[in-house]
Amino acid sequence: MKIPVFRVALISTASFLPLSLISLIVFLAIYSWPAIQFNQFYFLWTNDWNLGNLYGNPVTVHGTQVMPGAKYGIWFLVVGTIVSSALAMLIAMPIAIGAAYFLSEGVRKSWAGPLSLFVDLLAAIPSVVYGLWGYALLVPLFGQTIFPFVAKTFSFIPFLNGDPGSGYGLLTSAFVLAVMIIPLISATLRESIRMTEPELKEAGRSLGLNRLEVFWHITLPKLKTVLIGVGILALGRALGETMAVLMVSGNALNYLPDNIYAPISTMAAFIASQLDSALQDPTNMAVEALSEVALVLLLITVVVNFAARLLLWMARVR
């Protein structure tokens, strides 16, 4: 029998992809194992990230060496990550749907091509440039003008009142994240709207609905699965976004936001900003605890992406 050399070569190179995913999880799990043992489940639910007294002598707790007073709890990161992403989704979803409708059916075809460049190119801008834009333009604008105004005008709504802060914080992060994920949602949705059977739309039109009503009552319900799938996919992106959030979130430590202007930090931004100080820990426990943060973030995004892909796969969209 002849060995199919070409196919074997294909399979072996293609297996790099799943192997890299599995090795990512395995390496992180192995490396953070001492931290997992030391922190147990308190890691997720407690709100206390403290490297301990870095000038003291290491003490032995639960059989592992740590600095005196060291505690690792990331509840504030869990809250910051989830709340900022959820808020970003809340801002992004309606706008993305509106923009997708505008570009697929709202304008004539010859205009839609050039106009959709705005959306497509927005998706291509590097995240650090988003961060720079947020830092240099949004933070002063929001902090000095918009947040104080909003906080004063809507002082009767909980979470919108209180100290408007400096501009670095939850709402600014959510806004930047929203601008980053709008093009993702919008692009897929635009294609799906175009792919929807024209017969359905024609049937709606013949019943006397206008174009927007057809979209709202017929096309959009039909695309529900796609919408949810793409939404979750964008959520995954927002959860893992690092640089943009790092530059506008205010990098709060052990602090839970009490209104939408308060500084926060997310897991991804925390990993990026804390390694330098974690390296000061001679027992290496801080670096391993950071690795545990990365593992938690990895597992969250894997679950989120898994769900999204499953939904999209069921809706036959890729």
Partner 1 sequence: MATKAIERRNIVVRSSARGFKVSLSRRVTTVFAWMFVVLSFLFVATMFVSIIGDVIIRAWPALTPKLLTEVTSGIGGGLKNAIEGTFVMSVGALLLAAPIGISAGIYLSEHGRGGAGKVLRFLSDVLVGIPSIVLGYVGYITMVIYLGWQFSVAAGIITLTVMLLPYIARSTELALANIPLAVREAGYGLGAGEGRVVLSILLPGAAPAIMTGLFYAVALSMGETAPLLYTAGWSNYMWNGQFTKEPIGYLTYVVWTFINEPFAESHRIAFAAAFLITTGVLILILIGRWLLVRGQRRMGVYQG
Report 131-170 residues binding partner 1 (CB under 8 A). 131-133, 135-137
Which of 51, 83, 119, 177 lies at the binding interface for partner 1 (CB under 8 A)? 119
Report the site for partner 1 in 292-311 (rule: CB under 8 A): 294, 297-298, 301-302, 304-306, 308-309
Nearer to partner 1, 106 or 148 (CB): 106
Residue 282 is given by DSSP the state T
Which of 4, 56, 69, 282 lies at the binding interface for partner 1 (CB under 8 A)? 4
In whole angstroms, the minimum distance from the beta carbon of 257 to partner 1 comes to: 21
- Cα 296 from Cα 121, distance rounded (Å): 32
Which of 35, 83, 139, 246 lies at the binding interface for partner 1 (CB under 8 A)? 246
Report the site for partner 1 in 212-241 (rule: CB under 8 A): 212-213, 216, 233, 236-237, 239-241
Count how many Cα atoms sit within 13 Å of the Cα of residue 244 in the half-sphere of its side chain: 29
285 counts as binding partner 1 under rule CB under 8 A:
no
Count how many Cα atoms sit within 13 Å of the Cα of residue 30 in the half-sphere of its side chain: 6
In whole angstroms, the minimum distance from the beta carbon of 72 to partner 1 comes to: 16
CB contact at 8 A, 165 and 237: no
Nearer to partner 1, 222 or 309 (CB): 309
Nearest to 159 by CA among 92, 94, 86: 86
In whole angstroms, the minimum distance from the beta carbon of 161 to partner 1 comes to: 26
- Cα 49 from Cα 225, distance rounded (Å): 39
29 counts as binding partner 1 under rule CB under 8 A:
no
CB contact at 8 A, 285 and 61: no
129 counts as binding partner 1 under rule CB under 8 A:
yes
String of contacts with partner 1 for each residue 68-107, x by CB under 8 A: --------------------------xxxxxx-xxx--x-
Query: C-alpha distances in angstroms, 66 versus 62, 87, 195, 291?
Result: 10, 37, 58, 16
Query: C-alpha distances in angstroms, 86 versus 53, 222, 300?
Result: 36, 24, 14
56 counts as binding partner 1 under rule CB under 8 A:
no
- Cα 181 from Cα 41, distance rounded (Å): 32
| Binding span for partner 1 by CB under 8 A among 64-72, 162-170, 249-257, 284-292 | 284-292
